[in-house]
Structure 1
Amino acid sequence: MRGRCVAWSVAAVLSAKASVALAADDPLKVCLDEDRPPLSVHHRGKPDAGFDVLLARAIAERLGRPLKIQWFESRLDEDSSPQLEANALLSDGRCSLVGSYALTQDSLVAPGMKTARLPDFAGATRDDRRRRVPLGVLAPSQPYIYSPMTVVLGPKARGRKVGDIGDLAGLRLAIESGSLGDAILMSFDRGRLIDNITHLVPRRDDLLGALERGDHDATLIDLARFDAYRAAHPDTAITASGYYYPIGANRGYVGLASDGALIEAVNKALAELTTSGKIAEFGKQADLTYLPPREPAILGDVWTKIIQR
């Protein structure tokens, strides 16, 4: 009987070691948007690039696992949202983490629907594009970057000092309809700027191109989007005002709540990378204006805060 117990103990130890070895060989699968410079870029025939690519590699290295990036493309229909896309990718096992996820209370609540369609992703089949995936519950990592809105100035407004949205009075403003920037500008000081705002259609009108041509004087956009434009147009005449709208969101990883051990390990790796200055260094390498996370880690009701300002 004793010999049998010893044999079972040895078998259990060997099984545990085998499981650890298998986990070490198991790739860390991270989902990244394929066309979101300077955060993440995947173009056929060119090396993968971007801040999130560098960070994912560093995380995988600290976890002792090979990295596998699952590239996806956000859908542009009313049935989709970043929250549902991330949840569907995670719940379908396409990845264990989704990078650069906006950490807001709204984006982390349990989904209002039980299933969602997958966004288009590298390797997707016709059936993948049709089926719906049962959704899980999302859980965030600690944040690793702060993502604010910034005022960008056209050539005719170059040098304009902007310390508040009110300093845009008298300028010809352009904004994309339905965007967060639209809500901010339209609701400021009970609509004081409305008469100077021109609305453009997202993905049809070229907002920053119109600013470049001098058609408008200023806009309010995500800082990373301006970084991407500046990198693609090094001789651009549009400039950063240096002003950041005070309500912004941190970004981090999001996984499934059922995978708490992975989130904990990722948080440890992020803390080490932050302390060593590596995350800020990745920002410089990717031509990204890196701003460290700010409190609160998870942003509350954005729309109420904007309306109340």
Structure 2
Amino acid sequence: MRTWLNALHIAVFLVAISVMPASAAEETLKVCLDEDLPPLSMHHRGIPDSGFDVALAQAVAARLGRPLRIQWFESKLDEDSSPALEANALLSDGRCSFVGSYALTRDSLVVPGVKTAKLPDFEGATGPDHRRRVELGVLAPSQPYIYSPLTIVLGPKARDRHIADVGDVAGLRIGIESGSLADAILMTFGNGRLIDDITHLVPGRDDLLGTLDRGDLDATLLDLRRFDAYRAAHPGTKLTGSGYFYPIGVNRGYAGLASDPTLLVEVNKALSDLQAAGTIANLAEAAGLTFLPPREPIILGDALMKVLQK
């Protein structure tokens, strides 16, 4: 009798699945995260997944009462890569509903100028996935959940230098990665006032913060996230944060598709609740990430270009 009842329960369950509404089958919150962006998100073989965005995605999913699935991907840092197109391809291919820690800028949210794009390398990708192109949609941002600025970091020989403006690094040995935003800012500052103090390093080849830590350079301007990551990996570092943040930074939030506005509303409500409760700040602190609350403008437009063109 018990065996017959068990078989009946299984049959009923299978029927229920077959008639389950599409919305119920899609209740899992799927979030795409960069596999190597500490302390935001980290996914490496043999090491538990970690990072601020992992914890935040878990908190958002819990607020929504949904299970969470993270789709890990690898973003290529080269001239041919486009973070906006990579994110759009992942979303448009259904790999996830949101891409985490997306930089909210006007350029990153414009309607794509191309109809299709290739997917970045993602966990579980097959050979055909690396070759096919995905028809793109239109991106829509969530409300921001953290502010990401550039900061000046000082080496051991300049640790006592007071920094209240970019010009205060004049006379120091400044290290900058070629082609970076910081490179453009410092090279154009004061009509080239700092050019003679600047040493250019090659991204991916030269260790900017390591060189600074050894005392071979005195100062640099870079993303605060990278300084946080370096301090976590090198607890004995001699580097010092200046406390100065370049006045134009970018908010980070989720990027989704404009074709799914209902889920975006739900996620925004969850983010608002978590922000109000102080949970987002606490998650950042636990991950070793300096938390700065989002600020205006919510979506960065051409303010930076105006500064660089002065």
* Structure 2 counterpart of 1:114: 115
- C-alpha deviation, 1:172, in angstroms: 0.6
* Structure 2 counterpart of 1:19: 21
2:24 partner letter: L
In 2, Cα distance between equivalents of 1:47 and 1:307: 41
Deviations 1:71-93 (A, max 9, x none): 00002343321101100100111
Deviations 1:244-291 (A, max 9, x none): 000000000000000111111100000000111000000111011000
- C-alpha deviation, 1:20, in angstroms: 8.2
- The 5 A counterparts of 1:114-263 are 114-263=115-264
* Structure 1 counterpart of 2:101: 100
The answer on whether the counterparts of 1:141 and 1:253 sit within 8 Å (CA) in structure 2 is yes
* Structure 2 counterpart of 1:72: 73
In 1, Cα distance between equivalents of 2:146 and 2:265: 18
The answer on whether the counterparts of 2:248 and 2:304 sit within 8 Å (CA) in structure 1 is no
In 2, Cα distance between equivalents of 1:302 and 1:126: 42
In 1, Cα distance between equivalents of 2:24 and 2:139: 26
The answer on whether the counterparts of 2:146 and 2:252 sit within 8 Å (CA) in structure 1 is yes
- C-alpha deviation, 1:235, in angstroms: 0.3
- C-alpha deviation, 1:44, in angstroms: 1.1
In 1, Cα distance between equivalents of 2:303 and 2:178: 17
Deviations 1:14-37 (A, max 9, x none): 99x9538825x6311000000000
Of 217-226 and 79-88, deviating more is 79-88
Deviations 1:25-78 (A, max 9, x none): 631100000000000001112111000000000111111110000000002343
Give structure 1 stretches of 5+ with no counterpart. Answer: 1-13
In 2, Cα distance between equivalents of 1:131 and 1:293: 37
In 2, Cα distance between equivalents of 1:292 and 1:20: 37
User: 4+ residue runs of structure 1 moved beyond 2 angstroms?
Assistant: 17-21, 76-79
2:212 partner letter: L
- C-alpha deviation, 1:159, in angstroms: 1.4
2:241 partner letter: A
In 2, Cα distance between equivalents of 1:126 and 1:77: 21
Of 185-194 and 294-303, deviating more is 294-303
The answer on whether the counterparts of 1:106 and 1:301 sit within 8 Å (CA) in structure 2 is no
In 2, Cα distance between equivalents of 1:207 and 1:306: 25
* Structure 1 counterpart of 2:275: 274
Secondary structure at the aligned position of 1:167 is classed as helix
Aligned length: 294
* Structure 1 counterpart of 2:305: 304
Q: When the two structures are superposed, what TM-score results if normalisation uses the length of structure 2?
A: 0.92
1:171 partner letter: L
Deviations 1:120-167 (A, max 9, x none): 100011111111111110000000000000000011101110000010
1:126 partner letter: G
Secondary structure at the aligned position of 1:48 is classed as strand
Deviations 1:85-122 (A, max 9, x none): 10010011100000000000010001111111111100
- C-alpha deviation, 1:174, in angstroms: 0.5
* Structure 1 counterpart of 2:9: none
1:261 partner letter: T
Secondary structure at the aligned position of 2:292 is classed as coil
Secondary structure at the aligned position of 2:49 is classed as coil
- C-alpha deviation, 1:228, in angstroms: 0.2
In 2, Cα distance between equivalents of 1:240 and 1:199: 21
Secondary structure at the aligned position of 1:306 is classed as helix
Root-mean-square deviation (CA, aligned residues, Å) is: 1.7
2:254 partner letter: Y
The answer on whether the counterparts of 1:187 and 1:306 sit within 8 Å (CA) in structure 2 is no
- C-alpha deviation, 1:305, in angstroms: 2.9
* Structure 1 counterpart of 2:11: none
In 1, Cα distance between equivalents of 2:261 and 2:203: 37
In 2, Cα distance between equivalents of 1:257 and 1:180: 29
* Structure 2 counterpart of 1:5: none
Give structure 2 stretches of 5+ with no counterpart. Answer: 1-15
